[in-house]
Structure 1
Amino acid sequence: MTDMAHDQLVWVEIPATDLNRAKAFYESVLEISLIENDDGPQKMHMIPSKGDSMCGHLYEGKPATSGDGPTPHFSTRSKLDDAMERIQAAGGEVVSEPIPLPAAAFFYAKDTEGNSIAIFKFND
């Protein structure tokens, strides 16, 4: 049962008490532009992915207790040290040193809303 024909994780919803602050944080840290969407019952900021797809969104809501809850891992093309600097400059908090894996490394952080996130970098 380990062969998978499709991705298991397809979407992430990240709550924010201050949607504009969270948008600025993720745009800075991920080095992307989020896409505003007013189609649903509340405003969202969509997180773009490969091609024309999206991998999630920010929405106005109550985050889990600081650092608790799920931890989405976002990839970066830059060095992890650079990503750590962007996290801090954007008002977030780095909570671990880089953790090496055979094919990559990542670190844990908190966004401006207290959500747990990780930044993941594949080895070059």
Structure 2
Amino acid sequence: MSSNTPEHAAVWFEIPVSDLKAGMAFYNAVLQTELVETDMGPQTIGIFPNKEPATGVAGHIYAGNPGVAGKGSTVHLAVQEKLESAMDRVVENGGKVVSDIVTIDSGRFVYCLDPDGNSIGLFN
């Protein structure tokens, strides 16, 4: 491995939502967690909780301009309990499940769209 190889390939992600409060409610419900609303100077964001904020991969949502629904990058978010339950919460909270569950050696995931059309993966 090269000495230039980082510990994590990704270090931070941002998901634009049309309404911060509504976005936080969606992700809180789906992930069964509490995003932390934080004033970051020019704007307020909702930070995804992380057990190791100094060394782990983290991210946030912010009030911005979501791209075209279903286009662009896909951020995979950790689900701590049964994947099927999280899929139900996606639909119950205004999102869409857009794939079947995919099983790979390291776990299972499903592709979804949040209410703004952002592509997300739910992984466990």
User: Same fold by TM-score, threshold 0.5 exceeded?
Assistant: yes
| TM-score for both structures, normalised by structure 2 | 0.90
Instruction: List structure 1 segments (4+ residues) > 2 angstroms apart after TM superposition.
Output: 1-5, 51-54
The answer on 1:49 being equivalent to 2:15 is: no
Deviation at 1:75, TM superposition (A): 1.1
Query: Of the candidates 71, 74, 88, which is equivalent to residue 74 of structure 2?
Result: 71
The 1:98/1:2 distance shift into structure 2, 3 A limit, reads farther
1:18 partner amino acid: D
Letter in structure 2 aligned against 1:79: K
TM-score normalised by L of structure 1 = 0.90
What are the superposed Cα offsets for residues 78-116 of structure 1, whole Å, 9 maximum, x if unpaired? 111111001111111000010110221100000011100
Task: Compute the displacement of 1:5 (Å).
Answer: 4.9
Given that residues 18 and 113 in structure 1 are in contact (C-alpha distance below 8 angstroms), is that contact kept between their aligned partners in structure 2? no
1:36-55, CA deviations, whole angstroms, 9 ceiling, x for partnerless residues? 11132011111111244571
User: Any unmatched runs of 5+ in structure 2?
Assistant: none
Alpha-carbon distance change, 78 to 42 in structure 1, aligned in 2, over 3 angstroms? same
Deviations 1:7-28 (A, max 9, x none): 1111110001111111100001
Which whole-Å CA distance do the structure 2 matches of 1:103 and 1:55 have between them?
20
2:84 corresponds in structure 1 to 81
Root-mean-square deviation (CA), in Å? Answer: 1.7
The answer for the alignment partner of 2:122 in structure 1 is: 119
Q: Which residue in the other structure is 1:21 paired with?
A: 22
SS of the residue 1:78 aligns to: coil
Q: What's the % identity of the aligned pairs? A: 40
Counterpart Cα distance in 2 of 1:63 and 1:107 = 21
1:71 is displaced (CA, Å) by: 0.4
Distance in 1 (alpha carbons) for counterparts of 2:74 and 2:2:
23
CA distance in 1, matches of 2:120, 2:105: 21
Q: Gapped runs of 5+ residues in structure 1?
A: none
- Partner Cα distance (1:84, 1:39) in 2: 31
Pair 95,6 (structure 1): closer, same or farther in 2 beyond 3 Å: same
